[in-house]
A and B are shown apart, each in its own frame.
Chain A
Amino acid sequence: MKNLLVVFAISALSLLILSFTGTNNQTIATNPGNDVSFEIPDDVQAIINNSCYVCHSDESSSTTSKMKLNFDKLPEMKVGKQVGKLIKISNAVKEGAMPKENFIEKYPDKKLSIEDSNKLTSWAEELANKLGGE
Chain B
Amino acid sequence: MKKAIYLIIALLIVVQFIPAYLPEVSYDNPKDMLTNNPNITDDVKMILKNSCYNCHSNETNYPWYARVIPISFLVSHDIKDGREELNFSHWENYKKIEKAGILDDISGSVSNGEMPKKIYTLIHRNASLSDAEKKIIVNWADEFAESLFE
> Does A67 lie at the interface of the complex (its beta carbon under 8 Å from any beta carbon of B)?
yes
> Does A83 lie at the interface of the complex (its beta carbon under 8 Å from any beta carbon of B)?
yes
> Does B97 lie at the interface of the complex (its beta carbon under 8 Å from any beta carbon of A)?
yes
Inter-chain CA distance A83–B149, complex, in Å, is: 9
- Cβ contact within 8 Å between B149 and A132: yes
> Does A80 lie at the interface of the complex (its beta carbon under 8 Å from any beta carbon of B)?
yes
> Does B145 lie at the interface of the complex (its beta carbon under 8 Å from any beta carbon of A)?
yes
- Cβ contact within 8 Å between B142 and A64: no
Inter-chain CA distance A41–B146, complex, in Å, is: 25
Count of residues in B whose CB is under 8 Å from the partner chain: 18
- Cβ contact within 8 Å between A80 and B148: yes
Q: Which of A64, A79, A80 has the most CB of B within 10 A?
A: A80
Inter-chain CA distance A83–B99, complex, in Å, is: 9
Given contacts A68-B108, A80-B103, contact A87 B149 (CB under 8 A): no
- Cβ contact within 8 Å between B108 and A81: no
> A residues bordering B, Cβ < 8 Å?
30-33, 64, 67-68, 78-81, 83-88, 91, 128-129, 131-134
Between A and B, 7 residue pairs with Cβ closer than 8 Å are A67-B112, A80-B142, A81-B146, A84-B102, A85-B104, A128-B97, A131-B149
> B residues bordering A, Cβ < 8 Å?
96-98, 100-105, 108, 112, 142, 145-150
**A128-B97, A132-B149 given; 19 more Cβ-contact pairs under 8 Å:** A32-B149, A78-B146, A79-B149, A80-B145, A80-B146, A80-B149, A81-B104, A84-B103, A84-B105, A85-B101, A85-B104, A87-B98, A87-B101, A88-B101, A88-B104, A91-B101, A129-B97, A131-B149, A132-B100
